[in-house]
Amino acid sequence: MRPRTFIALAFTLFMMSVSALVNASSTAAAEASSDNTLIVEKQRFTLPSFETFNGSTIKQVNVGWEAYGELNDKKDNVILVTHYFSGTSHAAGKYTEKDAQPGYWDAIIGPGKAIDTNKFFVVSVDTLVNLNAYDEHVITTGPASINPDTNKPYGLSFPVVTIRDFVNVQKALLESLGITSLYAVVGPSMGSMQAIDWASAYPDWIPRMISVIGAGESDGWTTAALAHWAMPIKLDSNWNNGNYTKETAPVNGLTASLMLISQHALSPEYFNAQAQSLEFSNLEDAPLNDINTSHSIVNWLTSRAASRAENMDANHLLYLVRACQLFVAGHQQDLKKGLSTIKAKTLFFPATTDLLLMPYLSEHTHAMLEDMGKDTAIDMLSGSLGHLEGVANVQAQQTRIRRFLEEK
């Protein structure tokens, strides 16, 4: 996918024409529409009580989920797809034929595609504290949810949650469907953290794991880098220590945070192509003459971030940052210990131009697994889009993914 096409996808994903939100609790699989696009339904999974990794209890956990393909009788054809930081469970297909764009990995999930829904039952689940809290297609539980004990939003009284908690909610959902192991788990970025944690925490469930633009842990560098994403929100006086409503939300702080995240997840080549199309010039009149104005490239970044902010919640962003900062495979005392329990054959796809989860993170995790004599492989996404290569252009590795899934 070329950058221009990608941005259309990335920034319309959260503003698509709205179809009715279906809260069915059946295992209804997606059906193909007239043009062979999967038509999917968002479903709801509820847990009356959930104990978090840090020992807190959350009542009435609700998350949304989607499925593509058919669950077979043996229930042994399940592939779980775990989503990225600003993503949702909408990994493939469309809600209605009119949708402008399909789910983010539609290029590799579908009938006859690398993750072939003619063979596999593909499941994806909205995480706890999902960023898109106000998206009509997202069901999540987090600081913006109503605390049933107080009838008010949790705000910062919501417990800190971890990647392990996302995994455990997914496991409870799968168990509710009678599933007791997966064929594979696959995810990009924060989804890769979930995939690796699955393989480490529940090794008997996971024979195959694919990590795309991922990391076996947030090292010191990455943990600090994530902290900057939280700063603009905390500085916005509307944030008010997490006590706000949708109407009084810290929109400016959230927008600034999303601007930073967008730049972190893209690349010089992408930005400079955008600058060229804007006819960007250093000596534009407005910024040269007025400190309160900005260059065209900055205005472009701001307006895209402001659009995305509409469906997102600032507190949820802080909790997602924290979940990623706390991440180490298996949630053990160190990476080596976490990786040691993995039984899966693993495959890593870092992106050469990734400035967010840099290739050394995947390379280090892969090398550690190799040193332990485990079945592991690595290959690069070599495009110029930066981190988002793993979201927008993963189909560059579709043959490798298909082969990995076909091998016993």
Nearer to a copy of itself, 44 or 264 (CB): 264
Q: CB under 8 A: which stretch of 100-108, 120-128, 223-231, 372-380 binds a copy of itself?
A: 223-231
Q: Which of 124, 189, 211, 262 is catalytic?
A: 189
CB of 329 to a copy of itself, least distance (A): 10
At its nearest, how many Å lie between a copy of itself and the CB of residue 16?
26
Q: Is 130 in the site for a copy of itself (CB under 8 A)?
A: no
Q: Smallest gap, in angstroms, from Cβ of residue 320 to a copy of itself?
A: 11
- Positions 297 through 356 that interact with a copy of itself (CB under 8 A): 297-298, 301, 318-319, 322, 325-328, 331, 333-334, 355
For residue 271, count other CB atoms closer than 10 A to its CB.
Answer: 18
Q: Taking the complex as a whole, how short is the minimal distance between the CB of residue 280 and a copy of itself, in angstroms?
A: 5
Tell which one of 59, 228, 246, 403 touches a copy of itself (CB under 8 A): 228
| CB of 330 vs a copy of itself, minimal distance in Å | 11
Among 271, 348, 349, 404, binds a copy of itself (CB under 8 A): 271
Selection from 63, 78, 71 nearest residue 141 by Cα: 63
Contact predicate 353/359, CB 8 Å: no
One DSSP character per residue, 302-351 reads HHHHHHHHTT--HHHHHHHHHHHHT-BGGG-SSHHHHHHT--SEEEEE-B
Compose the 160-199 pattern: x for residues touching a copy of itself by CB under 8 A, - for all others. Answer: x-x-------------------------------------
Q: Is 106 or 217 the residue whose CB approaches a copy of itself more closely?
A: 217
Q: Give the CA count within 13 Å in the CB-facing half-sphere of 317.
A: 30
User: Could you give the CA distance from residue 90 to residue 105 in angstroms, rounded to a whole number?
Assistant: 9
User: 312 CB contacts (<8 Å, ≥6 apart)?
Assistant: 14, 86, 131, 132, 133, 134, 254, 258
Rounded to 5 degrees, what angle do the CA atoms 22, 135, 4 make? 115
Contacting a copy of itself (CB under 8 A), which of 15, 260, 306, 377? 260
Phi–psi pair at 184, nearest 5 degrees: -165, 160
- Contact call for residue 280 and a copy of itself (CB under 8 A): yes
Binding-residue total with a copy of itself (CB under 8 A): 65
Report CA-CA distances (Å) from 262 to 172, 222, 227, 311, 356: 33, 16, 15, 16, 10
Q: What is the DSSP string of 43-85?
A: EEEEEEEEE-TTS-EEEEEEEEEEEES---TTS--EEEE---T
Catalytic annotation present for 189: yes
Which pair of tokens denotes residue 216? 């076996």
Q: How far apart are CB 29 and a copy of itself at their closest, in Å?
A: 37
60 touching a copy of itself, by CB under 8 A: no
SS (H, E, C) 160-215: CCCHHHHHHHHHHHHHHCCCCCCCEEEEECHHHHHHHHHHHHCCCCCCEEEEECCC
Catalytic residue, chosen from 106, 135, 197, 354, is: 354
Does residue 186 come out as left (phi exceeding 0), alpha (psi in the -120 to 50 range) or beta? Answer: beta
Q: Would you call 83 a catalytic residue per the annotation?
A: no
Site track 18-57 with a copy of itself (rule: CB under 8 A), x = hit: -----------------------------------xx---
Judged by CB under 8 A, does residue 387 bind a copy of itself?
no
CA–chain centroid gap for 315, Å, is: 17
- Is 127 in contact with 85 (CB distance < 8 Å)? no
How far apart are CB 326 and a copy of itself at their closest, in Å? 5
Q: Of the two residues 95 and 158, which places its CB atom closer to a copy of itself in the complex?
A: 158
The dihedral built from the CA positions of residue 367, 369, 370 and 372, taken in this order, carries a sign that is positive
Nearer to a copy of itself, 67 or 161 (CB): 161
When asked if residue 287 is in the footprint of a copy of itself (CB under 8 A), the reply is yes
Residue type, 289: N
Which residue ranges make up the site for a copy of itself (CB under 8 A)? Answer: 53-54, 156, 158, 160, 162, 217-225, 227-228, 231-232, 235-237, 242, 252-253, 256, 259-260, 263, 267-268, 271-272, 274-276, 278, 280-283, 287-292, 294-295, 297-298, 301, 318-319, 322, 325-328, 331, 333-334, 355, 358, 360
Q: Which residues are catalytic?
A: 189, 354, 387
